[in-house]
Structure 1
Amino acid sequence: MEARVKSRKTKSNGEPLNICLLTYRGNPSCGGQGIYIKHLSKALREIGHNVDVVSGPPYPELEDGVTLYRIPSLDLYNPENLFRIPTLRELKSPINLLEWLDVSSGGFPEPLTFSIRAYKFFKQRHGYYDIVHDNQCLAYGILKIKELGYPTVATIHHPITVDRQTEIKSADVWWKKLKVMRWYSFIGMQKRVSRRMSRIITVSNRSKHDISSEFNIPPGRFRVVANGVNTDIFHPLDGIKRDENHIIVTNSADTPLKGLKYLLEAIASIRRKRQDIKLTVIGKPKKGGVIEKLVRELGISSHVHFTGRIRDEEFSHYYATATMAVVPSLYEGFGLPAGEAMACKVPVISTMGGALPEVVGDAGILVPPGNARELEKAILYLLDHPQERSRLAEKGYTRVTNHFTWTNAALKHVEVYKEAINDYG
């Protein structure tokens, strides 16, 4: 698709905005940021706005009508060619050299190097957009884009300092702790850049509070816009019998913040009372990693099934066969897995980590994070009370359809965009 060449000007209330979404990596398989870009861009387009996405690799999957501009990089984290050695020709570029040196020394340069490349892109297209929306890149190139005269907002999904703290705590030797600190060394840059944003979108009140505190940003700059749940993928399926004693969890298995360790410990304890307990993990553990070892040590290999990556259309089927879903996270800035399970009419047990209580509300059972015993008690309670499972399933479904749609999210994003545009006069 060709670029739309339009000058920014004051818009009437009904006139479409020309919106540019920025994301340093955009594929949904990479996590929540890719899901956010895919569904927000679609919803903004559906309510009548013009949307472009500028992304680094791996690139997003976008709907028809949304234009993608690819910003190539060395792509050193591509799993099909992990940590490849760039050619000398590639390293003649100062940005490529910076990227390679940072990765080689244990850093994570993608936000910074993407932002510099994106700035060059915008210099060639000055004035084409009414609003630029940064998806948690928060790097110095974003400030240069602002200096070109673009009204700019940023989304921060949750304070990434929480990830750093959890991984440092989980590291069992000093050199691993140093390695974690080096990886997260970009956080200082993100704090500095975010403080210079006049409008910051975040996905929950808990994230707003924690980002404000961790990044030292005045609370008045934040606008809370909850994520939506894609009900084209996550919806109830009729005619499928639920398995007895079958628990499901969507999890980045070896990420300490996701708390899978505590759910596995709960399953190990439940197994002594119920030999037919089953846990399906939508995800894949790292080979030889902490989770794979823990499953073996707990003696529950025959009770735990890891699906690996699955197709979108398979999610609803997995949920339809489950007795319940569990979200064991230590912290979530929003908690899409809880909303997705509720959209499938599956009763949910969730921790109170981060913003999960805002998503689940009174439509699920909430337990303290990092507590295997409380997870076990909640699971056993629901296994023994089928009527309560049915009640929570209905209540969760209603909650998602009333509160967490991408159309509502898009409309609220546009309100924030117009605030930022008005700030620029």
Structure 2
Amino acid sequence: MFSPLLINCSVLISHPTGISAYLTNLLPSFSPLQPTLLSSQEINDFNCYQIPKKLSPDHGSIGHFRRLVWTQKKLPKIYHQLNANLLFSPIPEAPLYSSCRYVVTVHDLIPLRYPQRFSPLTPYFRFYIPQVLKQAEHIICNSQATADDIINFWQIPASKITPILLAYNQQHFFPSPTPQKNNYFLYLGRHDPHKNVSRVIKAFAKFPDVNYQLWLAGSVDKRYTPKLQQLVTQFGLLDRVHFLNYLPYFQLPDLIRGATALVFPSLWEGFGLPVLEAMACGTPVITSNCSSLPEVAGDAAILVDPTNVDQIADSMIAIATNSYLRSSLIEKGLNRASQFSWEKTGQATVDVIKQFL
């Protein structure tokens, strides 16, 4: 027995991160609709239709290419074979120029805002995704900032877009019953230029207390990390700035809980999950006053101009030296984080899908 609703699960991987984690957390809310999942693996309590393996993001560029070909060539046939009425895709990919009706999710437009030379993502975002969105029944995105980008870059009408904020794992990220802050500031994320890590290092160079350290948690990237390491050497911070490389998911909560503050002044984010996770762990947050980050942080973080190194540095000093400010940010952050849940995100997503079934 197949459902009129198909969910494209080709992005699922065994240890979910990113978009795979997004879909994994949404699926329980879809249960009442009894969808058919297009998946290469069996998923408990759901009717699944077997699709090829090696289409997911963990197979790199070749997996991406295989998935695009499968989406265009095979997915329309499956859609009609199963008498589907609607396809939901957690990424902005769907069959073009077909009779398939679909709703897709857009997470960010960073490859357009910060294009990288010779990146295959640039033509993907310039030519393929706009066509997908124009032919979609509706578009879900993870912040108003992303909705505004969709409108401004591609002239998609606002009435066709619904922003639905993401959430976090409440069983994983929560405050310690015996809080103990150590003398380190934490950055969590990639080293891409738009992440603004160079200014985090420059701001830390202005921090006067030599007993504090800066920990940079995120995968080393041969394109960008060497320049950041040169900057650390230039400022004489080799003994105070530590590159932690990639850390397993289970290590993140303790790392976040122990930090004096999360410093996350990214130039642009589609959502900014580390901000929410840090607030949930009871850690003060310094983040940017632009893109989606104010939507996530509300009044529970220090918002700075991410291009202003002095503002970032002054915020770090304030949190380290002002116990009242630190306590206030912790309390506000915990209250703010409590407003987010995957149940709420999932139900809002299902409510949109129902309108088009």
Same fold, judged at TM 0.5 (above) = yes
TM-score, normalised with respect to structure 2: 0.87
> What amino acid does structure 2 have at the position aligned with 1:242?
K
State the identity as a percent: 22
Is structure 2 residue 161 aligned with structure 1 residue 225? no
Deviation at 1:230, TM superposition (A): 1.2
**Which structure 2 residues correspond to residues 26-425 of structure 1 after superposition, within 5 A?**
26-27=12-13, 32-45=18-31, 48-50=32-34, 53-54=37-38, 64-65=44-45, 69-73=50-54, 78=59, 109=65, 112-116=68-72, 119=75, 122-123=78-79, 125-127=81-83, 131-139=86-94, 141=95, 144=98, 147-148=99-100, 151-159=101-109, 162-168=110-116, 177=117, 179-180=118-119, 183-187=121-125, 188-244=127-183, 246-253=184-191, 255-270=192-207, 273-287=208-222, 289-402=226-339, 404-421=340-357
> What amino acid does structure 2 have at the position aligned with 1:373?
D
3-state DSSP of counterpart to 1:299: coil
Equivalent pair of 1:156/1:200 in contact (CA under 8 Å): yes
3-state DSSP of counterpart to 1:387: helix
Equivalent pair of 1:167/1:257 in contact (CA under 8 Å): no
3-state DSSP of counterpart to 2:8: strand
Equivalent pair of 2:165/2:271 in contact (CA under 8 Å): yes
Equivalent pair of 2:55/2:66 in contact (CA under 8 Å): no
For residues 205 and 239 of structure 1, the distance between their equivalents in structure 2, rounded to whole angstroms, comes to 36
Aligned in 2, Cα 1:78/1:138: closer, same or farther, shift over 3 Å? closer
1:6 corresponds to = 2
Structure with greater contact order relative to length (CA < 8 Å, sep ≥ 6): 2
Deviation at 1:295, TM superposition (A): 2.9
Aligned in 2, Cα 1:252/1:27: closer, same or farther, shift over 3 Å? farther
The one-character-per-residue Cα deviations of 1:136-178 (angstroms, maximum 9, x if unpaired) are 2435x2553xx24xx420101122xx3344245xxxxxxxx3x
3-state DSSP of counterpart to 2:282: coil
Consecutive unaligned residues in structure 1, runs of 5 or more = 9-17, 84-98, 101-107, 169-176
2:8 corresponds to = 21
Equivalent pair of 2:141/2:162 in contact (CA under 8 Å): yes
Deviation at 1:307, TM superposition (A): 2.8
3-state DSSP of counterpart to 2:200: helix
1:105 corresponds to = none
TM-score, normalised with respect to structure 1: 0.74
Aligned length: 353
Equivalent pair of 1:52/1:69 in contact (CA under 8 Å): no
Equivalent pair of 1:249/1:280 in contact (CA under 8 Å): yes
Deviation at 1:319, TM superposition (A): 1.4
> What amino acid does structure 2 have at the position aligned with 1:284?
S
> What amino acid does structure 2 have at the position aligned with 1:156?
V
Deviation at 1:359, TM superposition (A): 0.7
3-state DSSP of counterpart to 1:346: coil
3-state DSSP of counterpart to 1:338: helix
For residues 330 and 121 of structure 1, the distance between their equivalents in structure 2, rounded to whole angstroms, comes to 42
3-state DSSP of counterpart to 2:7: strand
Deviation at 1:379, TM superposition (A): 0.8
Equivalent pair of 1:286/1:292 in contact (CA under 8 Å): no
Deviation at 1:216, TM superposition (A): 1.5
Deviation at 1:116, TM superposition (A): 2.9
For residues 303 and 265 of structure 1, the distance between their equivalents in structure 2, rounded to whole angstroms, comes to 13
Equivalent pair of 1:285/1:292 in contact (CA under 8 Å): no
Aligned in 2, Cα 1:370/1:68: closer, same or farther, shift over 3 Å? farther
For residues 407 and 30 of structure 1, the distance between their equivalents in structure 2, rounded to whole angstroms, comes to 18
The list of structure 1 runs, each at least 4 consecutive aligned residues, that deviate by more than 4 angstroms after superposition, is 28-31, 66-70, 73-79
Deviation at 1:120, TM superposition (A): 6.1
3-state DSSP of counterpart to 1:302: coil
> What amino acid does structure 2 have at the position aligned with 1:157?
H
